[in-house]
Amino acid sequence: MRLTGKTILVVGGTSGIGLSAAAVLAGQGARVAVMGLDEPSCQAARQQLGPDVLVLQDDATRPRAAVEAVQATRDRFGRFDGLYHVAGGSGRRLGDGPLHELSEPAIDYTLRLNLTSVLYSNQAAVQDWLRHGQAGAVLNLASVLAFAPAPRHFGTVVYAAAKAAVLGLTRSAAAMYAPHNIRFNALAPGLVDTPSAARALADPATMVYVTGRQALEGGRAARTSDLDGAAVYLLSDEARFVTGQVLAVDGGWSACDGSPPQFGL
C-alpha cells in the first residue's frame, strides 16, 4: 500500500495506459480520480474501477477542464497530491507524418492533444498546490520517439515534437518548483499494446522492427501493466528526492538498434 493517504488525478484515465494505472494506484491505497473524453469510456471505467473512484468526463484540451477536475478531486476527497497526465494520441489520420507532407490541421490537432493539454493539467496542479502551500507530484507520459526516432515505421513528426516538448516542460518545471517540493517526472514508453496503437500492431513489417527494437522478453509490444510500477514509484514518497527525470519504459527501444536477434553469443 505504497500510496496510502495520497489522492491522485489521472488525466486520460478511462482507457489504455491511464485506466490500467488508475486501477493499480487505487490498489496501492490511493484515492483516485480519472478524467476521460467520452461517455462510453467513462461508463466502462466506472464499471471496472468501482464506486470509490471519481470518474469525470471532459476534454483535456479545453482550457478549464483540468482546473475543474483538480477542484472536483479536492472536493470529493479533501486533498489532491498527484497528477498523472496520460491523455494524448496520434494525429496520423489528420495528416501527421513526414515534415514535408504535414497539414495544418494535423499540426494544430496533434500539438493541442499531446502538448497543450499537458500544459493545462500541469498548470492547474501547480496552481492548486501553491495556493494550498502543499507539496505535490506530477508525472507526464511522453514517448521514446521524443529522443529515439524510428522514421520508417513511426514517422509522425508533430507527435514526436510534442512529446519532446513534454520532456522540456517536465524538466523546466522540475527546476522551477523544486523549492516548493513540487516534483515533475516523465515516463517515455515505446510501442504499447493499446487501441490507439492498432495500426502498428497490425502491420507485420512494423512488428518485426519492434521485435528487434523492444528486445526484452523475446521482443514484444509493451503491455499497459508494464508502466504501472514506474508510475506508482514516481508518484509515491519513495521518489520524494526524484525530480526532473525521464524514465524510459521501452523494452530496450532506446538501447537497441532494431537489428534481428543475434544467436550464439
Question: What residues act catalytically?
Answer: 159
- Integer Cα distance of 6 and 81 in angstroms: 6
How many CB atoms within 10 Å of residue 68?
14
Whether 42 and 97 have beta carbons less than 8 Å apart is answered as no
Q: What CA–CA distance (Å, rounded) separates 222 from 230?
A: 13
Q: Around Cβ 259, how many Cβ atoms within 10 Å?
A: 10
158 Cβ contact list (under 8 Å, min separation 6): 91, 96, 102, 106, 107, 110, 111
